[in-house]
Structure 1
Amino acid sequence: MLGLLLVGAAAVPVQAASTREQQWFLDAMKAEQMWKTSTGKGITVAVIDTGVDPDNPDLKGRVLKGKDFAPDSRVGDEHTDYDGHGTGMAGLIAGTGKYGGGQGAFGLAPGADILPVRMPHPDEMGAFDGSGYFSKSIRYAANAGAKVINISMSGGYRNPELTGAVRYAWSKGSLVFAGIGNDADKTHKVSELAATPGVVAVAAVGKNLRRAPFSQYGPEVDIAAPGVDMVHACGGKTGLCKTSGTSDATALASASAALIWSKHPTWTNNQVLRVMLNTIGAPTDGAKRNDSIGYGIVRPRVALQNPGDPGPADEYPLPDLAAAASAPPSPEPSSVTDAAEAPAKDKSAEETSSDSKTNTSVWIAFGALSLVLLCGTAVVLVRKRRAANAAALFPTVTHSPGQPPSPAAGFPNAPHYPPPGSGSDIPPGRGPDAAV
């Protein structure tokens, strides 16, 4: 299967009683203190995922009309979550806790609005489709007014189309966050999407603020956020789940941006991201980084209290966007609909002055190359092997370990991960009781 990966571990149903008490990450991030200053109100966060259920008790009133890119054979629209994952990410971002008279699950930015953008299932995307769907979704979200674009999925491959879409979203004033991937305990291969220039790549930490063992690592990591044993609203039978993954961490990074932006609505995307870096948690000071958690752990409470200098409005604060500037720009769509559905540019139109013999040769060569690529992809699928090269065009993509194909299938026990704490990614003296 190619195209996307839900970068979260298996979801386990959670009893509704004392839900808030189980949301350790909100305590660590001092959410109640932050909510006195900002709840994310007025900020739209796009959730590019498997759909978002607006009828979840903890999301009622927070979910907007969005866009459905799933095939016609898929039941429903962007408000139909065929997996439960998208609703879970929306819950981590904007859950209101209203279930049972305030006994439900809260998101970090309960005042934010969710723009659902439904992607196809991995089985419904071919080798060439993953990046195309992501590109369309990113462009749609940017044109629809989403300040923050959350992609708790992985897949596709880095190419000018995807890089151009990210750069387009940046030019429209959006920030794009994506999970770095969950296979560090098996293989070292970061998400191609998260590694795309202009995307803020998010790693996961546990309760002790160390990199979670499953969280990928490398020079692509930009920031980190809690992502272990996360209780939140979701699309399962109970409406509540406990999951672990860089999916969850990405949702909290997106929610953090929403909190800051709501407090400072005139800031640009560059300034919001710069303040996130200014106020980053241990072990860095915002100027240094490591491969485990990037520049550090997001701390929106500090950003709301003492943001520091937001800096220039038009300068991207991370170094990787310079690489994106070298990518050829793709046509800018004229409307939201065009952004989502405009077909790829027909490059053969540039060759209309060539004679028919030349054109025929070009198409024969292109067809042969496509056949070779597809055959190679088939071999990868049959052997179920991951490409060794991080820049491989068509990485093998599957669901995360233990992730069920749909909520109706029930949620098996999540895979056991050892307690976070491997690696030297936080300084001595920082422990489980440290605030994020």
Structure 2
Amino acid sequence: MPISIRAARSNAQRSLVLLTAALTCWAGTVPAASAEDVRSRQWYLDAMRVDQMWKETAGAGVSVAVVDSGVDSSIPELRGRVLPGKDVASNPTKANEDAEGHGTEMASLIAGTGSGGGIQGLAPKAEIIPVKNPRKGPFAADELMGKSIRYAANSEAKIINISMGASNSASEAPDTRRAVKFALSKGKLIIAATGNDGLKGNLSAYPANIPGVVGVGAVDSSGAVTKESTHGPQVALAAPGDKIPGRCKPRTTFCSTHGTSTASALVSASAALIWSKHPSWTNNQVLRVMMQTANKPKGKIPSRYIGYGIIRPAQVLLDGKGKPGPADVNPLLEREGATTPDPSPSASKSGGAQPQSSDSNKPASDQRAGKKRTAGAKASESGNTGLWIALGAGAAVVIAAIAVVMVRRRGNQH
């Protein structure tokens, strides 16, 4: 039965929630950070063994379409990394201009070179194709997202990163669903943030909830799911999404960002590294080995909090793990590696944090950050044995020192 226009307008206006990372700015008299300072705050890079991975590949030959607010190609770390793109709005502006800054941050996390004191990307030799989505007006959300994905699907990009979306069911986004199907048929790997609504209703959002899309949740440096990370059966993988450095406004200073947006960008960058190393693999094969080598959740797989686990690209690039399997079978749609049907919303919340080294085979945590461990949990199940991907003691000291000297204030969401 069709709903009334008034009801449709109310639902659409209520559902348009942008999946962007909130920024916590470093205020006071702190000067613009040097490249060394910013790099030291990117705790996840050393934890993921990037220096070793970059000896194998830094993402060369792989392009990532960033569907977002545009990408500012003039900042030092993105100079030479941004290809021509498109603004899908009816009154377009330049795709390499970004008034909001969110798309620029995602691009930097993926392919930033660290030049000029800027952000160091996880795949610094990958290239970015900006697909500018103005994100204005609830009735345009589905149409513009569909246009964005179709443009990216027709581009040379192998990976489509979408750190934005709208809190609606997939059935209410017909243009986006058709575009996703088209992009998958073109061999693209679509990675999307699930959202930061975990404490505000936990509303499912598209395109992350569309079958075949890799929905990404966020974890902190201990491996615990962040409180804000939207959870549910749409979560396929998880990645760092807490205390991630990014540029403030003006873009001469830096902020601490958080959210599933940053996690999505890091999953896209990890995929770029793997695909660069194995250029003959298909989107399905790249995704399959990412799922196989992820730090698995404790208990049921996939969990509603970290899906098939926390990304560990070093397992593929340095340790040679993961079997690509069939080229034309989407492992998400086939539920490869699943050990049980999707658990209920109340399942898999407990079990204790499981911080791991990158080589650990112990299960990762799918407990939400801030929750107490299950009473009587064994030390082996919830012990504090080190950070989830081998953060060294020295790095932990640096982070603690930064926390003491930096004065921070809450910023607005992009």
TM-score, normalised by the number of residues in structure 1 = 0.71
Superposed CA deviations along residues 109-162 of structure 1, whole A, max 9, x for unmatched, are 1110000010113xx3232x2111111111110111110000000117423332
Q: Which amino acid aligns with 1:125?
A: G
Instruction: State how far apart, in whole Å, the 1-side matches of 2:66 and 2:23 are.
Output: 19
Q: Is contact 2:297–2:307 with CA below 8 Å preserved after alignment? A: no
Q: What secondary structure is seen at the aligned counterpart in 2 of 1:211?
A: coil
Could you give the per-residue CA deviations for residues 90-110 of structure 1, whole angstroms, max 9, x where no partner exists?
0110110111xxx43201111
Query: Would you say the 8 A contact 1:204–1:211 is kept in 2?
Result: yes
Q: Distance in 2 between matches of 1:145 and 1:288?
A: 33
Contact 1:81 1:235 in 2 (8 A): no
| Number of the residue aligned with 1:168 | 182
Structure 1 gaps of 5+ residues are: 323-418
Count, aligned residues = 332
Match of 2:194 in 1: 180
Instruction: Give me the whole-angstrom Cα distance separating, in 1, the residues matched to 2:97 and 2:372.
Output: 40
275-284 vs 208-217, which deviates more?
Answer: 275-284
The AA in structure 2 aligned to 1:39 is: A
Contact 2:41 2:245 in 1 (8 A): yes
Alignment of 1:188-337 (within 5 A): 188-233=202-247, 236-238=250-252, 240-283=254-297, 288-305=301-318, 306-319=320-333
Partner Cα distance (2:159, 2:198) in 1: 27
Give the superposition deviation at 1:427: 4.2
Of structures 1 and 2, the one with the larger relative CO (CA 8 A, separation 6+) is 1
Which residue of structure 1 aligns with residue 87 of structure 2? Answer: 68
Residue 309 of structure 1 deviates from its aligned partner by: 1.3
| 1:429 alignment partner in structure 2 | 383
The answer as to whether partners of 1:67 and 1:78 remain within 8 angstroms in 2 is: yes
Cα distance in 1, alignment partners of residues 305 and 226 from structure 2: 9
Q: How many percent of aligned residue pairs carry the same amino acid?
A: 47
Find the aligned partners of 1:252 and 1:424 in 2 and give their Cα distance. Answer: 28
SS of the residue corresponding to residue 216 of structure 2 reads strand
Shift of 1:163: 1.5
Q: Give the aligned partner of residue 356 of structure 1.
A: none
8 A contact 1:58–1:233 mirrored in 2? no
Q: Is the Cα–Cα contact under 8 Å of residues 179 and 247 in structure 1 kept in the other structure? A: yes
Structure possessing the higher radius of gyration over alpha carbons: 1
2:163 paired residue number = 152
1:327-356 Cα distance to aligned partner (Å, 9 max, x none): xxxxxxxxxxxxxxxxxxxxxxxxxxxxxx
Following the alignment from structure 1 to structure 2, what is the Cα–Cα distance between the partners of residues 292 and 92? Answer: 22
Name 2:412's counterpart in structure 1. none
CA distance in 2, matches of 1:55, 1:4: 29
Following the alignment from structure 1 to structure 2, what is the Cα–Cα distance between the partners of residues 187 and 3?
Answer: 14
Shift in Å, 1:27: 1.7
Structure 2: distance between partners of 1:160 and 1:309 = 34
Tell me, in whole angstroms, the C-alpha distance in 2 between the residues paired with 1:427 and 1:212. 19
Distance in 2, matches of 1:264 and 1:138, equals: 24
Deviation at 1:429, TM superposition (A): 2.9
Match of 1:420 in 2: 369
Residue 91 of structure 1 aligns with which residue? 108
Query: Which of 19, 22, 33 is equivalent to 1:16?
Result: 33
In the alignment, what sits opposite 2:346?
A: none
TM-score, normalised to structure 2, is: 0.75
Give the 3-state SS of the residue equivalent to 1:290 in structure 2.
coil
Instruction: Show structure 2 runs of 5+ residues with no match.
Output: 1-12, 337-367, 375-379, 391-414
Contact 1:212 1:228 in 2 (8 A): yes
With over 3 angstroms needed to count, the CA separation of the structure-2 counterparts of 1:141 and 1:115, relative to structure 1, is same
